Structure 1
Amino acid sequence: MRSLNALLASIVLLSCMACSVGPHYKRPDTNLPAQFTAPVASGPVSSSPQPEAADTQFWHSFHDPELTALVERALASNNNLRSALAHYDAANALWRLSKFDRYPTVTASEEVGRQKLAASQAFGFPRNGRYSNSTVNASWELDFFGRIRHNVESQRQQLLASGSDLAAMQVAIAGEVAQTYIDLRGQQERLRVARQNVENEGRTVKLVEATYSAGRGTQFDLARVRALYESTTSRIPALQSAIALDEHRLAVLCGQLPGALVAELDQQKALPDLPEKIDPGTPADVVRRRPDVSASEQRLHAATEQIGVQTADLFPRVNFAGLLGMFQYHSDSTFDGVSPVNLAALNIDWSFLDRGRVRARIAASRADGDAQLAQYQQTILLALQDIEDALVRYARSREQDDQLRQAAADSKRAADLANVRYREGATGLLDMLDAERVELEAEDAYATSHLESASAAVSLYKSLAGGWPQQPPQAVRAAKP
């Protein structure tokens, strides 16, 4: 009884002396500008509400039901998201595992056997016998210096970082689906323009052939108009190839075979509407929203906690151990030689002669923390650069889009007039062909510019990390037992 009281007194004394060693995490100060410097694009004034960066399900601002369906399908079935979810579940399991270190570890064991002793070992007793040993063991590390607490918090931050990685993967997948879909519709529009111009130039070829047959043209004129027709026709295979690649990519992003969506997507549709204005908010708001910044900070926090884990090795590690059991040995009846066994012990392990290795591990942890701090600061800078670049690209592409739309309309009007004037003999073939060539280039340039504007809008939403569903793929959750 006296030894037990001494043991409890030792535990209470050490508890009073306990403290959590190592640094305590504090979010680094970041010097962020009050506003973004890049221009904010705006379109025609609309009575509908303007989309903001933090709007949920940003793709609804493009007013395209098929785009919405594809994004939601990808978020539910994409295999990269399923992989990211598995990494998140693994981190969650490791965090739960680390929390068990706070509590005693209890194990039970049973040993049964027979033995035969040599005559010189039996000392006159029976040489043959059976024995059994039943024990219940308990051990408990008393976390006086915070080693376990630091480790649990480190694992929790790693779990949060995995969750942020999952959110970042959602951003990447939804953004890629939207950009690929927009590229598909843009390439289909360019294909429509090319086919329309091929049809127009085909009629011009027939007109020139008829003129030549009537003796009013030359072989040079006929060769020149056929060359323009063939040049325009040559654009079609490349555009068809680009369309097929986009269709295959969308199917794979949605977790399906490459050809699964060809029939659904082959039907040409117009490019989605562009949002009139996208409000980027403030840099501080965006930094709080972006999952890559959150993941970087959470890994910095985890690295800081690991310094505490290593620092705790400078101090004694205290373990409380206990054992209850029963040992029996018998040669005749099953109740011979029953003996109870019990043990209560306080173990203090202090490798005070190994401080050089411990300090080396602490130095390595501090260096890792410095690296994570630099990475966190760099992630913020890259995030701000990403947003500034996206704002500039979207604003300038909208300006270019407006100018090329007018250029395409003017070029079409000029080509129509040139065709009428040629039929009436008021202008030469060269003027008409030049007008048709300019019309094709202007319409193709406008289609490409409109595609780039829509893609820039998606890139801006992606850089602002607004409107993304912060939830795991439902199909994966449904498949889990």
Structure 2
Amino acid sequence: MYNLRLKLNRMLVVLMMTVISACTTLGPNYIAPEVAKELDWLESQDKTLASDKPVDPLWWRSAFQDDTLDKLVSIALAENLTLRSAGLRVLQAQENLRIATGAQFPTQVLRGGIGRTGLAKGQASSGVDRNFYSDELGFGLQWEADVWGRFQRQIESASAQLDVSVASYDGVLLSLLAQVSQTYLNIRTLEERERYLRDNIVIQQQSLTIAEDRFEGGLVTELDQDQARSLLYNTQASLGDIQISLVQLRNTLSLLLGQSPGEVITVLSSSSQIPETPAQIALGMPQDLIRRRPDIRQAERRLAAQSALVGFAITDLYPTFTLGGSIGFESTDNSGNDLSDVFTSDTRSWDLGAGFNWNVFNYGRIKGNIRLQDALFQQLMIDYQNTVLNAQAEIESAIIAYLVSQQQLGWYIKSEQAARNAVDIANVQYDDGLVDFNTVVTNLLTLRTQQDLLASSRGQVAVNLVGVFKALGGGWEIHAGKTVDQLIPNETKDIMRKRTKYWDGVLE
């Protein structure tokens, strides 16, 4: 009997060593695919662009140097609800990785209990108490050997999904920076358009006064003053459209900042012009896109996660091997025994074993799943390549939009100056009776139009510059080096810690 037990123990040890030594990782090992990249920007010869300098992570500060914008961005980073939600998704992905990592280790079970048993007369021997108490205490251990890399592939996939969630957070952050900046710039643009309208109202009132004086002097008909009034009233009515748009943009900004509209108005209360754009902007090189753009990193990491799932699906073709054992103690208060005897050697029992499980007859389901996962991988590879191409096209479009809007602004500045001079000359000549009032009205309309175009163009240059930085993917680096829990606001962490104690050591 002893020799048989010794042989069984040796067989278990040999089986265990064989299983462990045979461990391998099935499936394709992921290699990041090569994609076509531009060597330089199409407009790289323009002196406004600097390809030899990296994009400034704090581009909104260096590009516009506007204290109000800096304050708005700081509030948005701290209070925006969409960004908070993205941070929590990163936390979820981190916990999924912990779960996947824990699956590769043995499971331990501690069991115990006490109970009372009543036996029928035919079940108990003569002189034995049919009613008795029993207790037990035991410990079990079971481990599935990762022979084919099944758990390893799950960890790889979960790790890549964590990277996906971080890149998604970066994308939300980048979008938030751009939205806050562009909304603020559009507000300042509308304010400047409003100032121009009010200036035009003053000029048109002066023209109306001249027309009324000339009518009272019998020099012109009533037509001139009616034309002047019509133009003036139309300009005054245009103020309403500007004011509606201003309220709407302020409400949009309040949503981005996670604050009430009244609080946003307080921040915007200081008078400010449309910020000037810098003489030169740093673009970096096209090769930096893959490292910098969050959507590209997200697509690449999603591809890596799917590659691991292909290997995970392949492992279903092969058997799983488990090793396990347990030791336990059990006693009763029957037949002269006592419950306290539970820890004596006479009450000890144990077992040790190994086994396998092989899904042999699956009717093609496993191979079908492998093909499915591989097809998904191929689709994601094409999506990744398409994302890179779209990114390059988006940047080139943003660059040309910025450069052309700068050129347009130069012409609008000259046009506005000419229109202003024309109004002054027309008013003098009309007052002297050299031209009719149609000439004055035409020039007043031209001035109003040109000044509105000038303000819109100046704002569009700044908005287009934000579009360039957004397309380049700059700005998310401001959270580089932060741990996952640092992406969660302190008040949110406090709420979560109060709800359950299991965040201790995770949310610091």
TM-score by length of structure 2 reads 0.90
Letter in 1 for 2:376: D
State the secondary structure of the residue aligned to 1:261: helix
Instruction: Evaluate the alpha carbon distance shift between residue 476 and residue 4 of structure 1 in structure 2; reply closer, same or farther with a 3 A threshold.
Output: same
Instruction: Evaluate the alpha carbon distance shift between residue 53 and residue 70 of structure 1 in structure 2; reply closer, same or farther with a 3 A threshold.
Output: farther
Question: Where does residue 397 of structure 2 map in the other structure?
Answer: 389
State the secondary structure of the residue aligned to 1:342: strand
Instruction: Return the alpha-carbon distance in structure 1 between the equivalents of residues 488 and 40 of structure 2.
Output: 40
Partners of 1:323 and 1:344 within 8 A in 2: yes
Question: Where does residue 462 of structure 1 map in the other structure?
Answer: 470
Cα offset, 1:51, TM superposition: 10
Q: Which moved more, 1:180-189 or 1:357-366?
A: 357-366
Partners of 1:321 and 1:346 within 8 A in 2: yes
Cα offset, 1:69, TM superposition: 1.3
Question: Where does residue 59 of structure 1 map in the other structure?
Answer: 60
Q: Equivalent residues in 2 for 1:400-419 (5 A)?
A: 400-419=408-427
Tell whether 2:243 aligns with 1:247. Answer: no
Q: Among the aligned pairs, what percent are the same residue?
A: 26
Question: Where does residue 437 of structure 2 map in the other structure?
Answer: 429
Instruction: Return the alpha-carbon distance in structure 2 between the equivalents of residues 228 and 354 of structure 1.
Output: 82
Instruction: Return the alpha-carbon distance in structure 2 between the equivalents of residues 146 and 231 of structure 1.
Output: 75
Instruction: Return the alpha-carbon distance in structure 2 between the equivalents of residues 260 and 435 of structure 1.
Output: 41
Q: Equivalent residues in 2 for 1:352-367 (5 A)?
A: 352-354=360-362, 356-367=364-375
Letter in 1 for 2:219: R
Letter in 1 for 2:147: F
CA shift digits 1:260-298 (9 cap, x unpaired): 211331443100111222232322112221011001100
Instruction: Evaluate the alpha carbon distance shift between residue 9 and residue 76 of structure 1 in structure 2; reply closer, same or farther with a 3 A threshold.
Output: same
1:12 aligned residue (8, 17, 24): 17
Instruction: Evaluate the alpha carbon distance shift between residue 166 and residue 152 of structure 1 in structure 2; reply closer, same or farther with a 3 A threshold.
Output: same
Question: Where does residue 76 of structure 2 map in the other structure?
Answer: 74
Q: Equivalent residues in 2 for 1:16-95 (5 A)?
A: 16-38=21-43, 42=47, 52-60=53-61, 61-95=63-97
Instruction: Evaluate the alpha carbon distance shift between residue 52 and residue 451 of structure 1 in structure 2; reply closer, same or farther with a 3 A threshold.
Output: farther
Letter in 1 for 2:253: L
Q: Which moved more, 1:356-365 or 1:448-457?
A: 356-365
Question: Where does residue 235 of structure 1 map in the other structure?
Answer: 238
Letter in 2 for 1:142: A
Cα offset, 1:214, TM superposition: 2.2
Cα offset, 1:256, TM superposition: 0.8
Partners of 1:53 and 1:465 within 8 A in 2: no
Q: Which moved more, 1:52-61 or 1:457-466?
A: 52-61
Cα offset, 1:206, TM superposition: 2.2
Cα offset, 1:33, TM superposition: 2.0
State the secondary structure of the residue aligned to 1:122: coil
Question: Where does residue 135 of structure 1 map in the other structure?
Answer: 138
1:118 aligned residue (98, 117, 120): 120
Partners of 2:87 and 2:487 within 8 A in 1: no
Question: Where does residue 304 of structure 1 map in the other structure?
Answer: 307
State the secondary structure of the residue aligned to 2:112: strand
CA shift digits 1:128-160 (9 cap, x unpaired): 111122121111111111001111010000000
Partners of 1:40 and 1:278 within 8 A in 2: no
Instruction: Return the alpha-carbon distance in structure 1 between the equivalents of residues 114 and 43 of structure 2.
Output: 79
Unaligned runs of 5+ in 2: 1-5, 495-508
TM-score by length of structure 1 reads 0.94
Instruction: Evaluate the alpha carbon distance shift between residue 284 and residue 475 of structure 1 in structure 2; reply closer, same or farther with a 3 A threshold.
Output: closer
CA shift digits 1:344-384 (9 cap, x unpaired): 11121112222622111111111111121111111111111
Cα offset, 1:397, TM superposition: 0.6
Letter in 1 for 2:355: N
Partners of 2:174 and 2:476 within 8 A in 1: yes
Question: Where does residue 103 of structure 1 map in the other structure?
Answer: 105
Partners of 2:25 and 2:149 within 8 A in 1: yes
Letter in 1 for 2:323: F
Letter in 1 for 2:416: A
Instruction: Return the alpha-carbon distance in structure 2 between the equivalents of residues 474 and 234 of structure 1.
Output: 50
Instruction: Return the alpha-carbon distance in structure 2 between the equivalents of residues 189 and 409 of structure 1.
Output: 16
Instruction: Return the alpha-carbon distance in structure 2 between the equivalents of residues 195 and 468 of structure 1.
Output: 40
Instruction: Evaluate the alpha carbon distance shift between residue 305 and residue 463 of structure 1 in structure 2; reply closer, same or farther with a 3 A threshold.
Output: same
Question: Where does residue 506 of structure 2 map in the other structure?
Answer: none
State the secondary structure of the residue aligned to 2:103: helix
Q: Which moved more, 1:78-87 or 1:242-251?
A: 242-251
Partners of 1:411 and 1:438 within 8 A in 2: yes
Instruction: Return the alpha-carbon distance in structure 2 between the equivalents of residues 446 and 176 of structure 1.
Output: 23
Tell whether 2:197 aligns with 1:194. Answer: yes
Instruction: Return the alpha-carbon distance in structure 2 between the equivalents of residues 160 and 369 of structure 1.
Output: 17
State the secondary structure of the residue aligned to 1:354: coil
Instruction: Return the alpha-carbon distance in structure 1 between the equivalents of residues 364 and 57 of structure 2.
Output: 54
Instruction: Return the alpha-carbon distance in structure 1 between the equivalents of residues 22 and 289 of structure 2.
Output: 44
Q: Which moved more, 1:370-379 or 1:167-176?
A: 370-379
Partners of 2:395 and 2:468 within 8 A in 1: yes
Cα offset, 1:404, TM superposition: 0.5
- Runs of 4 or more, structure 1, over 6 Å off, are 472-475
Q: Equivalent residues in 2 for 1:328-343 (5 A)?
A: 328-331=331-334, 333-335=338-340, 339-343=347-351
